[in-house]
């Protein structure tokens, strides 16, 4: 296991499967406390409900504690360099979980922290979301090699992490975006080299959705892009997930959305609130898979707890 979890490429397909099994166990037992005596520092440069709540609650359920550090107080990259923030927090805490705009802030922190750094979403990717989404697909009995996942909408952080998932686990992934809103070209090129099935980019949602097992979408304007909302509404008008689009998918297909959602924009209310929607399983599974991730990462770093153990051994 790598020290940090900045992207899906920090884990292997078999490590993902081990985390699924661990999450199954953690779901059943509240008596496992691998984070006893440990502290997670949570930094958020952007709003969050699911990610912040599931990390804070998950750390507590694993026996640890967390401190939330609002970025207005830290000034990550402005008041203080990411290197110094990382070195400092490595003296206080055992894990850093950070949601940032620029992905490079995570990379700089990871390079200088002696403790694990976890990407809680950046402009580039959202790996915690996608490992939990894979667990949800598995929960619904659809996670077989070659499962057809169709992402419809903006080629954003969530789409990029789906593409990276296709590099480590054999999904058949199709990404349908309007022209000009394609996912990151470098991420795609790197993933294509490793993917078991070619990752297909399309500008035609109906054909992309045909026979899919999973139809997935996300907001058209991500956090930080609010001023582009009006333009994007026009550009994405043909990319709404509605009953017509769902009819293209397999008869047993599920609908997924990372949330928060805008009913009537990227998804029709009848779909997101309908029988095929698994959005609250997805949200719940953030907790279980992040607990599995934290359990795996807890002893990868040299945080205060590890140092305390060394000091105790010297006494
Ligand atoms: N899906 C997700 O990451 O939600 P939040 O932005 O509320 O954390
Ligand atoms: N793409 C969205 C995901 C939110 C969980 C955003 O970055 O705002």
Q: pLDDT tens for residues 62-108?
A: 999 999 998 888 999 999 999 999 999 999 999 999 999 999 999 99
Average pLDDT of 231-240? 98
Distance 145 CA to ligand 1 centre (A): 27
Q: How sure is the predictor about 1, in pLDDT bands with cuts at 50, 70 and 90?
A: confident
Is residue 219 in contact with ligand 2, taking CB distance under 6 Å?
yes
The CA distance from 236 to 264, in Å, is 12
Residue nearest to atom 6 of ligand 1 (CA): 48
* pLDDT at residue number 299: 76
Distance 132 CA to ligand 1 centre (A): 12
Which residues lie below 8 Å from residue 224, measured CB to CB, with a gap of 6+?
A: 46, 101, 123
* pLDDT at residue number 313: 62
For domain 8-126+287-314, the CATH class is alpha beta
* pLDDT at residue number 31: 87
Ligand nearest to the CA of 262: 2
pLDDT single digits (tens) 158-207: 999 999 999 999 999 999 999 999 999 999 999 999 999 999 999 999 99
CATH of 141-277 among 3.40.50.1370, 3.40.50.2000, 3.30.43.10, 3.40.50.150: 3.40.50.1370
Residue nearest to atom 4 of ligand 1 (CA): 50
R_g (Cα) of the chain, nearest Å: 19
* Residue 311 pLDDT > 70: no
b/e sequence 3-19, b meaning 16+ C-beta within 10 Å: ebbbbbbbbeeeebeeb
φ, ψ (nearest 5 deg) of residue 150: -115, 115
pLDDT single digits (tens) 121-155: 999 999 999 999 999 999 999 999 999 999 999 99
* Residue 312 pLDDT > 70: no
pLDDT single digits (tens) 7-37: 999 999 999 999 999 999 999 988 899 999 9
* pLDDT at residue number 300: 79
User: Catalytic residue numbers?
Assistant: 99, 126, 129, 218, 258, 286
Domain with CATH 3.40.50.1370 in the chain: 8-126+287-314, 141-277
Whether 128 and 119 have beta carbons less than 8 Å apart is answered as: yes
Q: Which of 133, 297, 146, 144 is nearest to 216 (CA)?
A: 133
Q: Which atom of ligand 2 is nearest to the CA of 223?
A: 8
The CA distance from 196 to 268, in Å, is 33
What percent of the chain is modeled with pLDDT above 70?
96
Helix, coil or strand: residue 262 = coil
- pTM equals 0.95
Q: Which atom of ligand 2 is nearest to the CA of 222?
A: 8
Question: How confident is the prediction for the chain on average, in pLDDT?
Answer: 96
Distance 311 CA to ligand 1 centre (A): 39
b/e sequence 43-60, b meaning 16+ C-beta within 10 Å: bbbbebebbbebbbebbe
pLDDT single digits (tens) 268-305: 999 999 999 999 999 999 999 999 999 999 977 766 65
* Helices 185-194, 157-168: inter-axial angle, 10-degree rounding: 20
Is residue 222 in contact with ligand 2, taking CB distance under 6 Å?
yes
């Amino acid at each position: 296991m790598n020290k940090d979890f900045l992207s899906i490429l920090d884990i292997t397909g078999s490590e993902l499967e081990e985390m699924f099994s661990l999450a199954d166990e953690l779901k059943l037992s509240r008596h496992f406390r691998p984070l006893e005596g440990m502290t997670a520092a949570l930094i958020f440069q952007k709003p969050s409900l699911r990610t912040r709540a599931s990390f804070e609650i998950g750390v507590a359920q694993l026996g640890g504690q967390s401190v939330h550090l609002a970025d207005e107080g830290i000034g990550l990259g402005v008041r203080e360099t990411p290197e110094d923030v990382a070195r400092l927090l490595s003296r206080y805490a055992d894990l850093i979980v950070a949601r940032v705009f620029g992905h490079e802030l995570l990379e700089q922190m990871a390079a200088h922290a002696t403790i694990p750094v976890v990407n809680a979403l950046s402009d580039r990717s959202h790996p915690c979301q996608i490992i939990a989404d894979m667990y949800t697909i598995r929960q619904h009995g659809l996670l077989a090699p070659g499962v057809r996942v169709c992402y419809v909408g903006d080629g954003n952080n969530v789409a990029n992490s789906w593409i990276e998932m296709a590099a480590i686990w054999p999904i058949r992934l199709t990404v349908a975006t309007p022209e000009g809103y394609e996912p990151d070209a470098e991420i795609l090129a790197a993933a294509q080299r490793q993917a078991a099935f070619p990752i297909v980019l399309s500008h035609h949602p109906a054909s992309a959705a045909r026979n899919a097992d999973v139809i997935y979408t996300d907001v058209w304007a991500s956090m930080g892009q609010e001023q582009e909302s009006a333009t994007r509404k026009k550009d994405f008008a043909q990319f709404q997930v509605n009953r017509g689009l769902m009819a293209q998918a397999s008869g047993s297909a599920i609908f997924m959305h990372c949330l928060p959602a805008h009913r009537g924009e990227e998804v029709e209310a009848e779909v997101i609130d309908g029988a095929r929607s698994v959005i609250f399983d997805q949200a719940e599974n953030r907790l279980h898979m992040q607990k599995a991730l934290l359990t795996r990462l807890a002893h990868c770093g040299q945080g205060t707890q590890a140092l305390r153990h060394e000091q105790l051994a010297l006494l």
